[in-house]
Amino acid sequence: MDTAELGRLLPGEVPGLLRFARTLTRDLATAEDLVQETLTRALEKADTFRGDSSPATWLHRILHNLAVDRSRRSREAPVEDVIETVEACWHEDDYTVDAAVVVARAETREELEDALVHLPLTYRAAVVLHDAEGLTVQEIAEIQQVSLPAAKQRLRRGRMMLVTQLAAGHERRDALRGVPLRCWDARRLVSDYLEGDLDAVVATRVEAHLGGCPTCPPLYAALVGTKDALRDAPSVLRDPDTVVPREIAERLRP
């Protein structure tokens, strides 16, 4: 496919790509960046598209690969640990959930987003692409560049993980009951808070969140500590070979 032909197709694919990107990251700006990078990458590689799959599948594959690269750089929790924890629960004969509660939460956007974000990215993508976007398992296999059995396994495990996360949603909600702001909303404001760039009302909400959330204070402390360490970075990072010894410096003085 030539660049001009692909360029005519891209506008119609953007809504679906953005919807998919929003399920992979809760941050709209990051989702938009992923879509923009996908479009740029697609135009650069237009001549490599041979029509073996639909343009939509090809574009979703590019976006998926970019998202996977980002998640690796951000050190997402080890996938194996998450899978083992959930499958250990499902292996227990007495493990169950309240189906009515799970379904009700799945029908609530905030609860669904909160549960999805706790799934490893490849499993999250498999569930969303199949159950929300209506793609076939074969198309998911093509997007994720895995075998059909592997795609089926990701879908199965992803569904199991999603149900478990939805069932456990009340635990996260109870821990944060009465605490203003969701964790991500507070975390994305912390940098501005450190710089003193938030207005008094928002700053107070961030402080209240940090005072009541069980998980955010260590992250905040790490940010502050790293910021302070970087303040001293010139002396920490200075190469001793580039420092003129004091006795030589004394001789060089006029």
> Alpha-carbon distance 235 to 232, whole Å?
6
- Predicted confidence pLDDT, tens digits, the chain (254 residues): 778 888 888 888 899 899 889 888 877 888 899 999 999 999 998 888 877 888 889 999 999 999 888 877 665 555 677 788 888 888 888 888 888 888 888 888 878 888 888 888 899 999 999 998 889 999 999 999 999 999 999 999 999 999 998 888 666 666 566 677 878 788 888 888 888 888 888 899 899 888 888 888 888 888 888 877 776 655 544 444 544 455 555 655 55
Question: Of the candidates 73, 90, 113, which is a domain's last residue?
Answer: 73
216 in a structural domain = yes
Last residue of a domain, one of 52, 73, 94: 73
11 occurs within a structural domain: yes
Structural domain range at position 48: 3-73
- Which residue type does 180 have? P
For residue 52, being part of any structural domain is answered with yes
In a domain, 248, yes or no: no
Question: Is 242 a member of any domain?
Answer: no
Q: How many domains does the chain have?
A: 3
Q: What is the CATH number of the domain that holds 27?
A: 1.10.1740.10
Whether 18 contacts 28, CB under 8 Å: no
Residue 124 burial by Cβ neighbours in a 10 Å radius (0-12, 13-18, 19+): buried
Q: How far apart (Å, rounded) are the C-alpha atoms in residues 147 and 121?
A: 17
Residue 62 to residue 38: CA distance in whole angstroms = 6
Q: Is residue 244 part of a domain?
A: no
Of 73, 106, 129, the one marking the end of a domain is 73
The answer to whether residue 28 sits within a structural domain is: yes
CATH code of 132's domain: 1.10.10.10
Model confidence, pTM: 0.62
3-class DSSP assignment, residue 154: helix
Is 180 among the domain residues?
no
